[in-house]
Structure formats: C-alpha cells, structure tokens
Chains A and B, each alone.
Chain A
Amino acid sequence: MRALTYAAPLINALVFLLAAPLYEGVLRKLAAKIQSRQGPPLIQPYRDLLKLLGKQTLNSAGSWPFKLAPLGAFAAALAVVVLIPFGGRLGVFAGRLDVIVVIYLLTLGGVAVLLGALASRNTFALIGASREMVTMIMVEPVLAVTLILGAVKLRSLGLAAAMPGAAGAKFTLATGLMLAVYLLALQAFVARQPFDIAEAEVELLEGPFIEYSGPNYALFKYAMMLKQMFYAWLFVSVFLPWIRTGIYPADIVLQLAAMLVVFLLIGLVGSTNPRLRIDQAVRYYAVLIVLSLAAVALAVKGW
C-alpha cells in the first residue's frame, strides 16, 4: 500500500497525459457530428501535438518570458494533476498539501498565459490577455468555493476534505447549489464557447497564443487539455462521490468514464452557443460568484 501511495502521483501524470488528447478528440468529433460533418479521427489531437512538437522552436518576441511562459503553463497544469487524489487514492503529495496549493497552481497556469501574451507585444495578444485576466478574476472565486465547500464542512483545508462526499460528508443543499453553479461555470473553466472570449478566433486570432508556434504552442495546447480534464475530474469527484468501488484500478476507469460524460456535455453546450462578448460574460460571472458565496453561507449554516 505504501508503494502505491508513492506511485499514485506518477499514475495520475501518466493517465492524464495519455488521455487528455483523447478527450479533446471526443470534443472535436462530437462538434463535427452536431454540425453534420465527418470530423477528424479521435486520435487527431495526438497527431497535432506530435506535429507541433516536431517543429522548429521560434522565439518571435525575442525575450525570455516569452520562452518560459509555455513551460510554466505546462508545468503548472502537470503539477495540479500530480497532486490530486485521482481514483480516490491520496498520493504522497495529496496527503500533505492542501487545496490552497491547487488553487495557486491553477492561477499560476493562467499567469503564465498572461506572461506569454504580454511578452508577445502583439495588439491582439494584449487584448486577449486583458480578457483572460478579467475571466480569471471572475471565475477563480467559483473554483475556490467549490474546493473550499468541503473544507467548511469538515473543518480542514486538506485535499481529502475537498472531496467531501468521498470523505463521508452528506450531500446537502449547499452541495446542490454548488453543483449547479459549477455546471454553469464549466464552459468558462475550460474556455469553450460561449466563453472562449480570450482566444476568439475571428476577432483576436487566438489572442494570447497568436505569436506562438511549434513546440511552445504544443505545450500551451497540452496544458489546456490537461486543465480541461482536471475540471471534468473535479466535477466527478466533488459532486459524484458515489461513483466508487474502493478498488483503485476500477475507480480510475469509472472516473474516466464519468469524465467522458462531462466532456460530452462541454461539447454539446460548446456547439450550440455563440461566443459572448466580455461585458456580457462578466455580468454572467458576477451572478455565479454571488451564487457560490450563497453556497458557502449555506455550508457554514450546515445546510
């Protein structure tokens, strides 16, 4: 068992790195089906990553923050993945660190994107960065509340407490409210329509990433896929704690399957909505923040 505790972070990293492009492929295939298209094969995102990784590294902005930003974003995403109790198993880190670290690391990934955008010195990247910043400020509280809700119940900031259902807490009104808020914020977490505002292809030409190409761009893409998968996992483990057998490999498979359902939802909403403007999105996020604060209040009351 002790060996498994040490192996768990490694298993997390492996599973996430291997499966993230596949989920991306599912999203693309689903969008294609909704649009009456054939769509690319499921493994296309792997090919895309390999192709990008095989290209020459360009430092078009000629500065070191520009070079470091993709590495930072990827490292942050990978670190998050390593920490989490995936498959219900608390790894060696998960037992010692708390949710604040996860929030920090997720923010760090966002900051890395901003850093790269600002270092690009491109008008479109700058506009994209300012939109990304607004989105971060407005969406982060929702994420924080999701993670802290368990902490309020179990009076602990440990990662185990973040999964209150798993740790034995009951499904309360607060959990129900938070579940709804999480679903409403999901598209914003994963930067999909209607909230792909910072990248906005036809307005900003991928915004923060406009100057990136080759391996650097591949790292950003990979980091975004990991992040996407993390948010799907977070939903499954916080709100669907009953998906659990107690057998580690079986739990991994079950969680992956449940995450697939979350991805189908993301894809469905993404293909049936136009992009919102940032001012419209901010008003939407504000409502979510208020609702998540209400959930905290309910949790404090013990409801």
Chain B
Amino acid sequence: MTKDSLIRTLRDGFGPALTVSEGATPKRLVLDIDRTAFRAAALKLRAAGGRYMVGVGSDERDRRGAFGMIHLFAFDKDGFTVALRTSAPAETPEFDSIAPEIPAAGWTEREYMDLLGFTFKGNPKPKKLILADDWPAGIHPLRKEVPYNLVPPSAEDVAYELDEAPEGTTTVPIGPFHPSLHEPAHFAVYVDGETIKGCDYRGFMTHRGIEKLCQTQVSYNEVPFVAERICGICGSVHAAAYSQSVEEAAGIKIARRAEFIRTIMLEIERLHSHLLWLGVAGHLIGYDTIFMQSWRVREPIMWLSERLTGNRKTYGMIVIGGVRRDITPALREDILGVLKKVETEVGGLKDAVLKDTSIHRRTKGVGFIPREEAEAWSLLGPVARGRGVDIDVRRDHPYAAYDELSFDVPVMDSGDVWGTLVVRLLEIFESIKIVRQALDKMPSDGPLLTEVADVLPAYRHGLSMVEAPRGESVHYLITGPENRPERWRVRAPTYTNLQGVPRMLLDNQLADFPIIVGSIDPCFSCTDRVLVVDGRARSRRVFARSEIEALGRGRRKP
C-alpha cells in the first residue's frame, strides 16, 4: 500500500483522533493517535501490510507530564516506515496490548512492563522479561528518577516461574550453560519422548542497561563506541545504525566517500559473520570439519579487518558524521586480493556443503515455518528469506551507499533450516560483489568526517535500520537537551527472531534443537545489551600472531 492511500484509509477510519505528520524525511510517516485508538490503529497498519518492527517507550514526564509509546511499522515494498505514537498520563501508563494479534510485539510490551512500569491490557504472557528475578517490584530502571547505577539488594529463593509443561511431557533444561548456546540463556524444552512439544525462554541474564547508560552518562559522540560493543560480531552495524539515527534526527548529511567506506565495512562484517555462522552450524550438527574449514577461510578476512581498522573486531571506524579511517589505494588492492582468495575458497566450501546429502538430512524440513507465520512473527534477515519472505533493508530502505549498488537478494521457499543455510551461503557471494562495486564506484576523494554543529536540536526523532548479517537492526533516537540522547532504543535482529524460535521448535526432534536455535544465528548479547570489561588486563604487551600460536600450542615460551 502506498503512503498516500495508507494515510487516506487511516483518516477515514480514525478521523480527528489521528494527526498525520511527516518525519525527518519523506520516508518516515509519523502518526499521533489518541491512546484509546492506539491498538486499533496498530492492527490496521498490520492489516495494511506493515511489518511490525519494535516499540519504543519513553519517560517524558519531566517535559510534558506523560509517558510516550511508539509502535514502528515498515512498509518494505513501498520503502517507508510508520511511527505510530501515543502517550499516557504519568499516573496511569496503560495501553491495550497488540500482542495477541501481532505476536512479534510480545517482548516489546513485556520489556516496558519491566523497564518503565507500563501496563499492557491483554498481553498473553505478562511475565518478567528483562529484570532479574529478584529485582524489587516497583523499581523501573528506565524511569528518570532511577539512577543508572542503582544496585538493589539481591534476594534469596526467587526463581523464574516456567510456563506449565504440556501434559505428558518432560522438561529438558537447556542453558544457561550448554554447549549449543554460546551465551547464557535458558530454554525449558518440553519433550514427549524426543519430540519437542513446547518451550519457554528466559534470557536477558546479563542485561547491561546500555540504553540507560547512554541516556544519562555519556555524550553523542561517545555512544558509537558503546554501541559497537552491543555485539561482538556486528559491531559496525550498531555503530552505523546509531550514527545514522543521530544524523537523521539532526539533519546531518555526510560525505559520499564516507558512506561508501561504511558500506564496505558493513559488508566485510557480513562476510566474516556468515562464515562464522556456517562453522558454528556445522559444529551444531556434529560436523566439525565444516566448522574448522569455514573458520580457516574466514581468518584472512579478520586479518584484513585488522589492516583496515587496527582491530580484528570492534573496529571503531564508524562515528557520527562519517568514518575515522580512509581506504588508501594500497588497502584497496589488499581488499581485492583477499576477496579473490575468499571467493575461490568459499566456492569450494559451498559445493561441499550444498551437495552433501547428509547435511540435507539434518537441515531439510527442520524448523519449518510457513511464510505467513514467518511474517506474523516479523522474522528478519536470512531466517525470513529462507522462508520466502523477500525483505532486505539494503534494498527496501537503502542507507549508506546501497542505493548506488546492484546486488541480488537470495530468497528460498523451503521454509526450514536448509533455506537459511542456502541464503547465507549465497549472500557471501553477494557481499563480495558489493564490496567490489563499492571500491569501483567510490568517489576518489572527499572528507571522511563531516563537522557536526556543537549543539544538536533537542527532542527530534531519528530512525535508522541497518541490515545486519542476522537481519534488520533498528535504532530509534530522540535527541536530548544535554548533548546526549534523551531516548535511544536498540532492537537487534535476534530480539525479534528469538521470539519465533519456540514456534520453529514445535514438533521437531530434540536432536534438532541446537541447529534450529543456531539457524537464527542467535546473538544473545545483542538482546541483552551487555558490556564485558576485563579489569585485570593492566599490563600491556603486544603479542605477534606467531607468538600467540606458539603459546596456544604450548610448544615453547615466546
């Protein structure tokens, strides 16, 4: 549905309760609606073909005596987004739940029950999502009166109440520590024999409160480096998404060359992330040769990243206004050389994986969801594209330099783990194609960093989406008066995909649990938004790679 016809339908349906305005760009539609019609309008947007992205709750009592709540929808075919906004009085932050009809909104609503003390009437599962089990009732950390470093006393004998197990099933506890999960999370899997009949998820075990930290302690220009640490794999994605949201809110236009360099970094990140996933997937089905070979092929990309940015990971390249390092002609040749080698080797890997019938046996028909349900759960990235949902932010809502680049978006209709596997493998070649094109089309000079006016205007809204290797990352920003975000909402793709996992697991075998959870390439730290700091590493010593290898093999002291 086009933007104009959508506005017409909504105006007819809601009349004076609805105010339509334009956002920061023509691609952002902003709808302000009365709280009583909030749910009805959201359902209407969904019915009109809007894909539910995420909700943003905010504490705005200090400036207008109310709480704000926004539901974000994307219209991918027509390339625009809708922010459906409403507010609730400070005393009664109550809204009607949309989760019964839009299951992907379930976690958003539960998140704000925990963090802002909202009530969503009719939410099918109003249980704790984010706060620790022993967190005292009545303290909602995202409310402004709660200090960022509050540490309430811990309590004994409190535990998460798992969902009731379906009749005739036994519970298999998977996590918080389990070799198929690389980060802490708990899945209570209800099995009948070895068939999975249900699953309850308790995650957010290492919630860092990064949003609160960045809304109270640091300034705009420091946030990209914190954002980058949301995820250990797609750091650039978060730095880019945050920077773009600030740029959109403040109306900053960055240099074209910087946009191309951002694009190249994002694609290099996708390359190494997909190869990392392929390895992990091999390990999860007990095929360690795939694991080792895939990571061997990946390693030159990590070395390349180190030459480009100074680091294998957590590059620190992308900041508000542009990027921090240039791609020199020598580095350009370096990139092309590495891509060539990787392309050949991934070609061999692809044949070995796609033609191996034993891999077919372990992935085809496993974790099946039909396309309609994948859309209802708002699945993202390769998880959605493997199920016939043709979405890709790079093509549908272009950012950085993607509007100038041509590439394919592989889509599979098999609806299972196999589909996600094929999609990811094919995307590796698309990424290589994109980097090559970007290197060709990039303007040969121009500033890397655009100077930003000292004071950014307050209370502007900015939305940015970036296609991470796992799917769409959404950052929503409201600028603040104190040189830092008033509200910064991060939604990593795993946050959405993980909600669909219990559905994927249903009626599958327990032996397929690892690969089904693995097939969404879960990044729990993205959903937890946790920061790990090694406080002990005081002494500084730089090891050469050969020294580290020697240490790892324990042959001799370096």
Question: Is B a genuine binding partner of A?
Answer: yes
Residues of A within 8 A of B (CB): 31, 34-38, 123-124, 127, 193-194, 196-197, 200-203, 205, 271-280
Cβ < 8 Å to A, chain B residues 399-427: none
CB of A278 within 8 A of CB of B284, answer: no
**B509: A residues at CB distance < 8 A:** 277-279
A278 & B292 in contact (Cβ 8 Å cutoff)? no
Shortest A177–chain B CB gap in Å is: 24
Pick from B170, B358, B512: contact of A194, CB under 8 Å: B358
CA distance A197 to B171 in the complex (A): 20
Scan residues 429-466 of chain B and give those whose CB is less than 8 A from a CB of chain A: none
Closest B residue to A201 using CB positions: B179
The 3 closest A-B pairs by CB, nearest first: A275-B286, A35-B292, A274-B287
Specify the chain B residue showing the minimal Cβ separation from A35.
B292
Known: A36-B296, A202-B514. A271 touches B288 (CB 8 A): yes
Q: A123-B172, A127-B194, A202-B284 are in contact. Are A277 and B362 (CB under 8 A)?
A: yes
* Number of interchain pairs (Cβ within 8 Å): 75
Q: Are A203 and B289 in contact (CB under 8 A)?
A: no
Question: Do B511 and A278 touch across chains, with their CB atoms under 8 A apart?
Answer: yes
Complex contact B361–A276 (CB within 8 A)? yes
Task: Given A123-B170, A205-B178, check contact A274 B286 (CB 8 Å).
Answer: yes
CB distance from A48 to the nearest CB of B (A): 14
In the bound complex, residues from chain A placing their C-beta under 8 Å from that of B171 are 123
Contact indicator A203/B170 (Cβ below 8 Å): no
Q: Contact: A274 with B359, CB < 8 Å? A: yes
Using known A-B contacts A203-B180, A271-B288, A277-B509, determine if residue A36 contacts B553 with beta carbons closer than 8 Å.
Answer: no
User: B284 — which chain A residues lie within 8 A by C-beta?
Assistant: 202
A127 and B179 form a contact (CB under 8 A): no
Find the A residue at minimum CB distance from B514: A202
Instruction: Using A35-B292, A127-B194, A278-B194 as known contacts, say yes or no to A203 and B358 having CB atoms under 8 A apart.
Output: no
Contact A273 B287 (CB under 8 A): yes
Chain B residues, Cβ within 8 Å of A279: 194, 509
Identify the interface centre among A38, A205, A275, A279: most chain B CB within 10 Å of its CB.
A275
| B175-196 Cβ-contact flags toward A at 8 Å (1 or 0) | 0001110000000000000100
Contact pattern, B 537-558, Cβ under 8 Å of A = 1, otherwise 0:
0000000000000000100000
A38 and B289 alpha carbons, distance in the complex (Å): 13
Contact of B288 among A31, A276, A280 (CB under 8 A): A31
CB neighbours (8 Å) of B286 from chain A are 193-194, 196, 200-202, 274-275
Q: How far is the CA of A272 from the CA of B353 in the complex (A)?
A: 11
Q: Establish whether residues A274 and B513, one from each chain, have CB atoms under 8 Å apart when the complex forms.
A: no
Structural contact, A272 and B180, CB atoms closer than 8 A: no
Query: Across the two chains, which residue of chain A brings its CB closest to B363?
Result: A274
Task: Give the docked Cα–Cα distance between A278 and B510 (Å).
Answer: 10
A202-B514 Cα distance, complex, nearest whole Å: 7
List chain A residues, Cβ under 8 A from B194: 127, 278-279
In the bound assembly, the distance between CA atoms of A31 and B288 in angstroms comes to 9
Residues on B with beta carbons closer than 8 Å to the beta carbon of A31: 288-289
- Tell me the count of chain B residues lying within 8 A, CB to CB, of chain A: 32
**Chain B residues, Cβ within 8 Å of A194:** 286, 358
B136 contacts A by Cβ under 8 Å: no
5 interchain pairs (CB within 8 A)? A35-B293, A197-B511, A274-B358, A274-B359, A275-B362
The answer to whether A274 and B292 touch across the interface, beta carbons within 8 angstroms, is no
B503: Cβ under 8 A from any A Cβ: no
Query: Is B285 an interface residue when CB atoms closer than 8 A count as contact?
Result: yes
A193 contacts which chain B residues (CB < 8 A)?
286-287
> In the bound complex, how far is the Cα of B284 from the Cα of A194, in angstroms?
13
Residues of chain A within 8 A (CB-CB) of B512 are 277
Q: Which of B178, B180, B362 contacts A274 (CB 8 A)?
A: B362
* Cα–Cα distance between A239 and B225 once the two chains are bound (Å): 66
User: Which residues 132-188 of B have a CB within 8 angstroms of A?
Assistant: 170-173, 178-180
Give the complex CA separation of A37 and B299 in angstroms: 13
Q: Are A272 and B173 within 8 A (Cβ)?
A: no
Asked if A35 contacts B288 (CB within 8 A), the reply is yes
Of all chain B residues, the one with the shortest Cβ separation from A271 is B289
Task: Give B555 Cβ to nearest chain A Cβ, in Å.
Answer: 10
Asked if residues B180 and A202 are in contact (CB atoms below 8 Å), the reply is: yes
Once bound together, how far apart are the Cα atoms of A278 and B287, in whole Å?
Answer: 16
Does A273 lie within 8 Å of B362, measured CB to CB? Answer: no
Chain A residues closer than 8 Å to B292, beta-carbon distance:
35-37
User: Is B282 interfacial (CB-CB < 8 Å)?
Assistant: yes
* Those of B238-287 within 8 Å (CB) of chain A: 282-287
B282 to A, closest residue via Cβ: A274
Q: What CA separation (Å) do A127 and B514 show in the bound complex? A: 15
When A123-B173, A127-B194 are in contact, do A277 and B511 touch as well, CB less than 8 Å? yes
Chain B residues within 8 Å of A196, by CB: 286
Nearest chain B residue, comparing its CB with the CB of A197: B511
A214–B289 Cα gap in the complex (Å)?
Answer: 29
Chain B's nearest CB lies how many Å from the CB of A195?
10
Chain B residue nearest to A194 in the complex (CB): B358
Find chain A residues with CB under 8 A from B172 CB. 123-124, 127
A34, A203, A272: the one contacting B514 at CB < 8 Å is A203
Give complex CA distance A279, B499 in Å: 28
Cα A87 to Cα B319 in complex, Å, equals: 72
Alpha-carbon distance between A274 and B283 when the two chains are bound, in angstroms: 8
Contact pick for A200, options B178, B358, B511, CB 8 Å:
B511
Q: Kindly list chain A residues whose C-beta atoms are within 8 Å of the C-beta of B296.
A: 36
Closest Cβ of chain A to B162, distance in Å, is: 14
Cα A232 to Cα B512 in complex, Å, equals 31
Given contacts A271-B289, A274-B285, 11 further A-B contacts (CB under 8 A): A31-B288, A127-B194, A194-B358, A201-B179, A202-B514, A203-B180, A275-B362, A276-B358, A276-B362, A278-B509, A278-B511
Question: Once bound together, how far apart are the Cα atoms of A265 and B178, in whole Å?
Answer: 31
Task: Kindly state the separation between the CA atoms of A31 and B553 in the bound complex, as whole angstroms.
Answer: 17
- In the complex, what distance in Å separates the CA atom of A193 from the CA atom of B283? 12
Question: In B354-373, which residues have CB < 8 Å from any A CB?
Answer: 358-359, 361-362
- Chain B residues whose CB sits within 8 angstroms of the CB of A37 once the complex forms: 292
- In the bound complex, residues from chain B placing their C-beta under 8 Å from that of A124 are 172
- Closest Cβ–Cβ distance, residue A171 to chain B (whole Å): 32
Cα of A122 to Cα of B498 in the assembled complex, Å: 27
Chain A min CB distance to B341 (Å): 15
The distance from the CB of A127 to the nearest CB of chain B, in whole angstroms, is 7
Chain A residues with CB below 8 A from B282, complex form: 274
What's the Cα separation between A34 and B292 when bound, in Å?
9
Instruction: Give the CA-CA distance A252 to B178 in the complex, in Å.
Output: 44
A194 vs B526: C-alpha distance in the bound complex, in angstroms?
34
In whole angstroms, how far apart are the Cα atoms of A127 and B359 in the complex? 23
Cross-chain contact A203 with B513 (CB below 8 angstroms): yes
